Homo-oligomer: A and B are copies of this chain.
Amino acid sequence: MSVSDAIKARRSVRQFADGEISKENILKLLDAGRLAPSGGNRQPWRFILVNEAENIEAIKLMSPGLYGVPSALIVICSFREKGKDSENGIYPIDPVMYMDIGMAAENIMLLAVELGIATCAVRSFSQKAVQSLLELPENVSPELIITLGYKAGEVKMPSKKPLEDLVYSERWGRTYDLPRFP
């Protein structure tokens, strides 16, 4: 599948049919996350694969934003280096880390489209509860949960702003001459 088609076909899926995700595909998805770019090549992410039904259920209970029963989860965590010159001995999280994690998440979600796997990125969960359940050390925090499963039914594209409302040319407010975009 082309990148262009995957970008257009990706949907946030919140109702899943039964079915296991093969280990081969899980490894491909994790590797896609690994290969994302990151500021200063810090690779400030760690991935917890949650495959067991009881652990998925436990995380669901901590996650008001996690709909449906996915087959597996990838919990993307931020990893902050420890350093003597930092506050509390751990460097703080910064905007670049969040953007890096967004890029890793999008790699995973776009490759999933190609592999026929449905996903949703979820941030609405108790970070404290998931931190505790996953036994994360203090310099590692759960930032985003990617649900993985097989979609049950079609999902419509949510309403998206047209390019005209999002794009300017050279300066704020200067219209970019947009043809009618297909």
Contact = CB atoms under 8 A, between A and B. Distances in A.
Number of copies: 2
Interface of A, helix, strand, loop or mixed by DSSP:
mixed
Interface string A81-123: 0000000000000011011111101110111011000000101
B107 A7 contact: yes
A35 B163 CA distance: 10
Interface residues of A, number: 73
Interface of A: 1-4, 6-8, 10, 12, 27-28, 30-37, 39, 41, 43, 45-52, 55, 95-96, 98-103, 105-107, 109-111, 113-114, 121, 123, 134-137, 140, 143-144, 158-161, 163, 166-173, 176, 178-179, 181
